[in-house]
Each structure stands twice: as C-alpha cells, then as structure tokens.
Structure 1
Amino acid sequence: MSADVTLLWLRRDFRFYDHPAMVVAAANGSAVIPVFIYDDHVETLGAAPKWRLGEAVGHFADALAEKGSRLILRKGDPLEVLRDLIAQTGARAVHWSRTYDPASIARDKRVKAALKEDGITAQSHAGHLLFEPWSVQTGKGEPYKVYSPFWRAVKGRDIAVPLKTVSELRAPSVWPNSENLSSWRMGEAMKRGAAVVAKYAHIGEDRAQGRLAAFLRDHIDHYKELRDFPSAGATSGLSENLTYGEISPRAIWHAGWRHVQEGAAGAEHFLKELVWREFACHLLYHFPDLADANWRNEWNGFPWRPDNKDAEAWRRGMTGEPFVDAAMREMYVTGTMHNRARMIVASYLTKHLMTDWRVGRRWFEDCLIDWDPASNAMSWQWVAGSGPDAAPYFRVFNPRTQLEKFDKSNEYREKFIFEGQANPPQSARDFFDAIPRSWGLTPDQTYPSPIADLKGGRERALAAYQRHRDPS
C-alpha cells in the first residue's frame, strides 16, 4: 500500500461541512482512511446514546460510500488499533477532532504521545466547540464560573467561517479490512425501544442541516417567547445532531448571527443557548469532577436520598404529576426531552422527592439520545442547587403551576399521556411499546394519584436545606 496515507479517526464528527480534521487530512492529496473505533468509551455508554451513536456511524458509512470512500470499523484499544492500521497501510499521520470530557482527554493524550514517539504525525483539531475551553478566561486568567460574564466575554469574538464541504476523499490503493457494524449490537440495550425512538430521531448531516433551515425559517423570530412551551415546536432540536457532530456549532452560529443582523427577535437568545453548551464544556474541562461531585463543597453531606421507590415511579412516568410524567414519557418515545420539561423533572426529583441529583443524571445518561456529559452534569447540578451558577435551592418548580403556565391547553400532556383520552395520539401509544416489559405498564391502566404532596414536599426540601446550612 502507498506510504502516502492518512488515517482520519472519527469519534463524534460525522459530517463533511466544516470538518477541520477532515480538511487537513485531505489537504495534501494523500489517501484518507476514515476509521471509527469501538473502544471502552463506547462500551460504557448508556443504552440510548450507544444506539444513536451506532445509527450515526452507519449513516456516515453510507455517506462516505457515496463519495467513493469507506468507513473502517475496528474494536479495541485505540492505540493498538491505530498502530495496527498504520502497520497495514503505511500511514504516516493520524488526525482527529478533540472532545473534552476527562476520559477522552486522558485517552487522546496517551494516543498522541505514543504515536509521536513512533514517528507518526498525530494531530488533534477543533470542531466540537466554538471556543477551545482554555481560550476563554477572566481578566485574572481563570476559567469562568458564571454564565453571564462568559457570554459577554465571547459574544463579540470573531468566529471563523465554516470550512467548505469536503467533496472527495482520495481512496487508498487497497483498503484495510473492517469489522461489521451489526456485529457490535450497539442497540442491544435499547431492546424494543429502538424501533420507537427511530421514528423520531433525525439522523445524519442532511437532516441536521434541514432542521437548522426549518428552524431559522419558521421559528427564530418567536424563539425567545415560545421556547419554554413544549407543544409550540419552537426549539431547533439540534442538540441531538450536535452531540454526534452531524452539524458544527460554527455552522449554527453563523446562520444564527445572520438573523441577529437582520433583526430577528429571538436570534440572540438562540445563540445564547448555543453558548450555554460551550459553558458546560468549559466547566467540565476545567473542573473534571463536575459529573460526579457537588460543585459546591457546602453541599457535601446534604441529606438527599439514594435511589428509592419514589424515584422508580419518576423513572416510569407514573408520579401522578402530568407535566413530570409527560416529560419522562417523551424521553422514552423520542429519545429527547424539551428543556423546560427537563428542569421540571429534575426539580421534582431532587426537591419534592429529595433524591440525589446523581440518580437523575445517571438515568438521563442511559435514556437520552442527545446525552452530553458536560451539559447533562451541569444542568442537573444547576437545578439541584449544588452546581455552578445554580438556581437557588429555594427555587422549587411546582409542576402543576408550570403546566398551567406552559401547557394551558394540555397539548403536551395529551401528546404523551395515554390514560384518560378517548382517542390518544400515536406518540402516547408509543410509550407502551418503548418501555421495558418488566415494568408491566399497559394502556388500560389507571393513571396514578400523585405520589407526593407538592406543598409538603417543598416545605420538607426547604427545611432540610435550612438544617444543612445551620445544624444548630
């Protein structure tokens, strides 16, 4: 095989438009071998994220084939796999896009150091974020810990325009062997739920770009005023595609910024949400314990309950609180959950049910197809009160008043709660096909009475907080 070969190690960057690592890999005219490695990081993913990643891999393999290229699939330790491919192909360079969770950083440092020692060009590239986490600092040279000044620090920055689509990847004279994606059984843990979620997922670069175009055309003007209404359809849904790099944040930023300049009322607020994702990655990069430890040490020892039977009712969408249950059922049916609903279910679990935020974080990690380690951890801690720039603990969302405010017509409730409706929509029916059979839930069941007294639960949570702050 020709020595003029470059390996492109794909992880969460399944696109051709604005793909810095791919552009550099293809720039010198060398043959490019795209490779995806099923490693320990993939193995430990939750059921829904692993299924969705498998769908992204398969879709991109097809897209590469249409361009006369291939996606080589290998399973194992990344360094061993890459060294084996280098030995087979004579490749002299490996390029990849950076990710920023602690485990990925440790893996990539080990791979880069070893390959360089082998005399191989090993280069990581930006592409997952607008700003590298180390590039945004306070005046004292420290990382930001509060979102508002973080936003002010970056909103005026020049952001490079997206790179042009890579239209062609030169093929090697001989392709290395590849494993079969189906043999990895990446959807196995999803079981029957995969077929349900597949109906609602938007997989691939083309659908991501279509989502963005539709949002900018139909919803950007009213985004700020309608984004908290789950049934309004006013959000972009792009968190799913950003998670797998099927669209780049720069592509979204520049498209949104054009609407800011044109005076679209909701455009800047939309970009703030994109930067909220950046802020989460910024925090996880600088504070790698964010996913498992209370950000604020004063919360250590707070009397949250470990997993419990009330949390199980919460998981099953059977709390008797329609907003909470509709949201949980939305997650099982679609693989995602509206952002306002995420706040409601998190507040209910951590405050009304006094359950540790890590119980919820782990469940979302298993069930969300747009799961992101930084955003998930920061959001749970934000709602619980223990995190950076957190909502005050005494801010306890009442799911009934929230339902009255944000779903007055009961459209969201009726979309996902089957019980009590004469002619439920398919989305409500899909819940019973998506959930584990072991739960024993059926369409002819009676909707449950509330498992918690909202007023009493709020008072109990606030009393626990006061005792924790002042044990005397």
Structure 2
Amino acid sequence: MPDAAPILLWFRRDLRLADHPALTAAVETGRPIIPVFINDEVVAGQGAAPRFRLGLSVGSLAQQLESKGSKLILRLGDALQVLRNLIAETGATSVYWSRAYDPITKDRDKALKAALKDDGITAQSFTGHLLFEPWTVETKTGGFYRVYTPMWRAVRNRDVPAPVPAPSKILAPTAWPASDNLGDWQLDKAMNRGAAVLGPHCTVGEAAANDRLGAFIEDRVASYADQRDFPAVNGTSGLSENLTCGEISPATCWHAGWSSFRRGADQAEIFLKELVWREFAYHLAFHTPHITTANWRPEWDAFPWNTDESTAEVTAWKQGRTGIPFVDAAMRQMYVTGVMHNRARMIVASYLTKNLMSRWQIGERWFADCLIDWDPASNAMGWQWVAGSGPDAAPYFRVFNPVTQLEKFDRDGRYQKQWITEGFGQPTETALSYFDAIPRSWGLSPDDRYPSPIVTPEEGRMRALDAYAAREKPAN
C-alpha cells in the first residue's frame, strides 16, 4: 500500500535523534523509516579535521539508531543517484531531510529536490539547524539584518518551540538495503598520524553533547561573561563541535540558557547572544552567499593583501612558529585538540590579516582543514569580521596586539605553557603532543629554539595602518 512505503530519512549535519523535526515528522506518519547517510561531494569537500570528526559522529549515530531497533544505511556517491538507487531498492516514496543554509549545500539540495519531485517522489525538508529560518527575520523595512545587534534585539524574545524528545522507537522496514562499512570510507585518512592525537580530545555523540551542555549550565554559565575570554580557563560551553555535527540542537541550547537566565544567572544572556551570532552568520550566508568565499564588502577587493600562501611569514603562522606566544599557542592548540579558544581565534586572525597583511581567505581555508568545529558560515564571517571586509566588522584600524592581549587574558602564562615547549624546562604533555600531531615534513622538534618574532606587533600594526591610509586616499 502507498501509505506503507518507507521514508528515506537523509541525515547530514543533524546527527541526533532528539529535537529532530524531520525524524519526528517521519515517525508521526507511522511508516517505516530508513535512515541514510551519504558520503557525497559535499562531505568529500570538507577538510581533514572536519571530515574526521564527522566520521566519529556518524558512527555514534549508527549506534543510537541500533538501540531504537533501526539502522543507519551508509552509501558513497552522488547524493541524487544514491537516493534514486535506494528508492528503487526499497520502494520508498518519500525523502525527508533537515535544511542547510550554506550556498554549496543549499544549491545541491535545491537541484536534488526538483529532480526527486520530477520523479514523483515526495521530497520534504525541515528546519533544525537554526533557531530562526533566515527568511523569517526581517528589518522593519523588509530586508535582512546586516548588523548583529539589531538582529539580536529582534529575535531575543521570539518564541522558539521547546525541544522534542527522541522517539522511543523507529519503525523498521521489512528488509534493509545494503550498507557500506564506515571504516572503508577512511574519513580519517587525511589526518594521518594527527588523528590519534586529536581523537581523545573530541566529545562525540548526542549523549555526550547533552552532558556537556548540562555541565556548562550547572557549573559555568553563571560566570560565562567573566571567564570566557581567558583561554587557559574552562569557561566556555565547548559545544561548537557538537552544534557543527548537529549532535545537539540550537533550540536545546537556547532553552537551557533561558532557563538558567530566569533562575538568576544573568551572564547566561551572553551565551544566548553567542547562539544568535551563529544565527547571524547563517542568515548572511543565506542572503549573501558570496560571504563564504569573497569579500562581503567589494570595496576591499583592491586592498593590497598578500595572496601567496607559500611565503615564509604565512608558513611560520601555519606552523605556530611566529615568535608571538599567543598566536603560536593558539595554533598548536588547534593541531592537538581540533579547536581553538575564541579569543585566540581573533588574535590569530588579526595577526595574519593585519600584522602579516595576508588575505583572510588563506586563514579561512586553513581553519577549514584543521578545525573539528569548522562551520562554513561562522568560519567565513569570523575571518571577515576580524579582517574588516565583512558585515558588522571590526574596523581595519583596530589591530589586536597579541602581546598585551596575552598579558591581559593569560597573566600567569598558563595558556602559553600549556601549548609551547620551547623555553620551558619541563614542557607539558599537551605542548609535546603538538610535535606528534603536525606533519613530519615540517621537520620540527621540541629541542628547537623558540623563534624571534617574524613581525613584531608594532611593525605589523604600522604596516597595516599605512596600507589602510593609502587605500583611503583619493586617486590623483
């Protein structure tokens, strides 16, 4: 019977069972559900660390589904062709998935939905990756927000539906289609030896994500505004990797934050603002998709940034060998753990784009290869915010001084000691792990001397300001 035909539930960046609108809608039909994950060109196009982390999340989801009497079907290939093959094999008449908003995925989904509908298949997408759909948040004049603060004010008191629990059971089909083996995909291959170093620092899966949120709300959200800028302090939620893979929904985080705020934890509002900052990034990626690859402000296209990734300065920046402790500690933290403290990200980005006068896309692409919490919208907007070329950007003449920033946010030197070996008689285990994570081709050793600054903050600041002033001068 047609109403007994299976539904293909296509998982992507929504690797959880709770508060999953597409899954909830599929369960409510009473029809069999075939969960699917496709290793297509979008997955293959991700960098080494994000793809490695995604593989861990897929494995965790597969175990969750088995506990519900279901199964995750893995397939490799073009998404449309894979879905068509599965439809032919299973008799499925519907495909459900959670919407995405970055330009690459959005374009794929648009073409795929049209093709499936032409095939006579019900192709339906659902919300789930954001709190607010981009087309539902408008200024008083009907446009989208180009500045963060007014958007925050506009959505602060909006109703967000309460999270929906995971279904107790997912109806299985009478027969399962064949599935690939996750290990055969080798999603960790590009990490090489770095996977063994980085893996233990990952907090993987829906249960772990919810535990992480609970611990943050219980222990740290009340002091979030006071502690979040200190990179050696466990003062943030750490949920970025889980939100990236969709192991927890933004609505779950939103309601937990508001609940804490209403109980008297005033600083929880800053956490809520950070969730809306993520929303802002996706709204901009939806309305102005060029933000992910090009200067959001076209007047910056002629700015004289260095575009050569092979220069000695850029190489030193990538290796965490600039001679600037805050920058180097941050880069090494990323290689060992797959994440970088947010304050450190701003310092690292400012040093590359302003002190070293290199274009932000160099850093954006490097982060896209090295971060397990890489996010196409947030990563691009963050880089453009620091570089000065994006919306609501930090002015170009605002150049973070990495020396004074370290003095302010790492007074006792714990952060730099945690990640830098050179100059310390008894280096920490985390600092030594950097040499196990990086490529052997770099030829670096804990016995190396710590380098002198490749560009001092003062020199870099003047170089940046001179270039900015020249840009502002009218042509003769």
**Superposed pair shares fold, TM > 0.5:** yes
Residues 149-228 of structure 1: pairs in structure 2 closer than 5 A: 149-228=150-229
> Is 1:424 the equivalent of 2:411?
no
Residues 35-114 of structure 1: pairs in structure 2 closer than 5 A: 35-114=36-115
Residues 432-447 of structure 1: pairs in structure 2 closer than 5 A: 432-447=435-450
CA offsets 1:141-169 (integer angstroms, 9 cap, x no match): 10100000000000010111111212211
Distance in 2 of aligned mates of 1:457 and 1:433? 31
Distance in 2 of aligned mates of 1:192 and 1:167? 39
CA offsets 1:234-275 (integer angstroms, 9 cap, x no match): 000001000000000000000100011111031001100010
> One-letter code of the match for 1:362?
R
> Is 1:276 the equivalent of 2:277?
yes
Distance in 1 of aligned mates of 2:379 and 2:457? 25
% identical aligned pairs: 60
> One-letter code of the match for 1:465?
Y
Q: What's the counterpart of residue 263 of structure 2?
A: 262
Q: In structure 2, the residue corresponding to 1:414 is in which secondary structure? A: helix
Stretch deviating more after TM superposition (316-325 or 98-107): 98-107
> Is 1:368 the equivalent of 2:378?
no
Q: What's the counterpart of residue 460 of structure 1?
A: 463
CA contact (8 A) 1:335 1:368 kept: yes
Give the superposition deviation at 1:184. Answer: 1.1
Distance in 1 of aligned mates of 2:394 and 2:15? 35
Q: Which runs of 5+ in 2 are unaligned?
A: none
> One-letter code of the match for 2:226?
E
Give the superposition deviation at 1:422. Answer: 2.4
> One-letter code of the match for 2:360?
W
> One-letter code of the match for 2:324?
E
Give the superposition deviation at 1:423. Answer: 2.2
> Is 1:327 the equivalent of 2:337?
no
Give the superposition deviation at 1:358. Answer: 0.5
Q: In structure 1, the residue corresponding to 2:96 is in which secondary structure? A: strand
Q: In structure 1, the residue corresponding to 2:163 is in which secondary structure? A: coil
> Is 1:246 the equivalent of 2:244?
no
CA offsets 1:280-303 (integer angstroms, 9 cap, x no match): 000000000001211112211100
Distance in 2 of aligned mates of 1:466 and 1:198? 46
> Is 1:356 the equivalent of 2:359?
yes
Q: In structure 1, the residue corresponding to 2:112 is in which secondary structure? A: helix
CA contact (8 A) 1:224 1:265 kept: no
> One-letter code of the match for 2:135?
W
Distance in 2 of aligned mates of 1:355 and 1:37? 36
Distance in 1 of aligned mates of 2:57 and 2:433? 23
> One-letter code of the match for 1:425?
T
Q: In structure 2, the residue corresponding to 1:108 is in which secondary structure? A: helix
Give the superposition deviation at 1:229. Answer: 0.5
CA offsets 1:187-240 (integer angstroms, 9 cap, x no match): 111001011110101010011001101111111111001110011110000010
Root-mean-square deviation (CA, aligned residues, Å) is 1.1
Distance in 1 of aligned mates of 2:146 and 2:186? 40
Distance in 2 of aligned mates of 1:112 and 1:99? 13
Give the superposition deviation at 1:78. Answer: 1.0
Distance in 2 of aligned mates of 1:249 and 1:166? 19
Q: How many residues align?
A: 472
Give the superposition deviation at 1:471. Answer: 4.7
| TM-score, with length taken from structure 1 | 0.99
Q: In structure 1, the residue corresponding to 2:329 is in which secondary structure? A: helix
Give the superposition deviation at 1:424. Answer: 2.0
> One-letter code of the match for 1:41?
V
Q: Which runs of 5+ in 1 are unaligned?
A: none
